[in-house]
Amino acid sequence: MRIVLLGAPGSGKGTQCKSLVEKYGLLHMSSGDILRKERAAKSELGQKAQSYMDSGALVPDDLIIEMMSKAIKEAPKSGFILDGFPRTVNQAIELDKAMADAGMKIDFVLNLEVDDSIIEKRITGRRSCPKCGAVYHIENMKPKQDGICDNDETELVQRADDTAEVVAKRLDNYHQQTEPLVDYYKKNGNVYDLRSDRDPEIVKEDIFKILDF
C-alpha cells in the first residue's frame, strides 16, 4: 500500500503516520524529518535547506525532488507513506514519474483538513523527541513525565520553525502552493478528505476504515 498524506502544518500528519506504521508496517517517509536529519548531519543539502526551513519557506523543488526520488528508489515496494511530499504541483508531477519508473502507483491520498484558527495553538504547543521522533503536545497529548519522551526518556525539544510568526508563513505557503494538490489528485479519484479537528483516535479509526475497505 502506497499513501500520500496531505494537510496543512499541524494538521496531524506525523501523529497519524505513527498509527499507520504500527498497524500496516509501512515505511514512514517524511520530507521534513529527512531534511532535519540532513541539517543535524551538517550535509550540503542540510545547510542549503536551513534558511528556507527556519523562515517557513518551502525548500526549492530541485533539492526536494532529488532527495525524495532517491528515497523512493530505495523504498520497499511493499508499502510506504509520504508525509510532507509532494508539496507543489511540480513535485507531484515528478513523483508520478518516479513511481511509474519504479512500476508503482499511489493507492490512497489522505487529506487532513483543519481550520487555520486552531493550527497555531497546536504547533506552538508541540514538543517532539529528537531520538525517536515521537510527537506530543503540552496540553492535549502530554507525555507521562513533563518534557520527557515516554519511549526512551530523552528530553523533548521544540522545533525552531514552531513559532507563531513562522507558522503564519508556513500556512500561507500551504494555501498557495500545496492546497492545489488536492484538486490535482482528485482527477485520479483516490482522495479521501478527513476532518482532523477531532480526537486523533477517531481520525485514526476513520483512516483505518478507508484503508481496510
Q: In 3-state terms, what secondary structure has residue 113?
A: strand
Report d(CA 167, CA 114) in Å as an integer.
14
By CB under 6 A, the residues from 150 to 169 that bind ligand AP5 are 161
Annotation says 36 is catalytic: no
Q: Name which position in 21, 27, 141, 157 contacts ligand AP5 (CB under 6 A).
A: 141
Q: Which three cell numbers stand for residue 3?
A: 499513501
| Chain centre to alpha carbon of residue 22 | 16
User: Can residue 143 be called a binding residue for ligand AP5 (CB under 6 A)?
Assistant: no
Q: In whole angstroms, how close is the CB of 106 to ligand AP5 at the nearest point?
A: 15
User: Can residue 126 be called a binding residue for ligand AP5 (CB under 6 A)?
Assistant: yes
Residue nearest to ligand AP5 (CB): 32
Measure Cα distances from 188 to 65, 164, 191, 192 in Å: 22, 36, 8, 11
Contacts of residue 143, defined as CB under 8 A and 6 or more positions apart, other chains included, come to 127, 136, 149, 150, 156
User: Can residue 46 be called a binding residue for ligand AP5 (CB under 6 A)?
Assistant: no
User: Can residue 4 be called a binding residue for ligand AP5 (CB under 6 A)?
Assistant: no
Q: In 3-state terms, what secondary structure has residue 170?
A: helix
Catalytic residue positions?
A: 13, 87, 126, 159, 170
Given the rule CB under 6 A, which residues bind ligand AP5?
A: 7, 9-15, 31-32, 35, 52-53, 56-59, 64, 84-85, 87, 91, 122-123, 125-126, 135-137, 140-141, 161, 170, 196, 200, 203
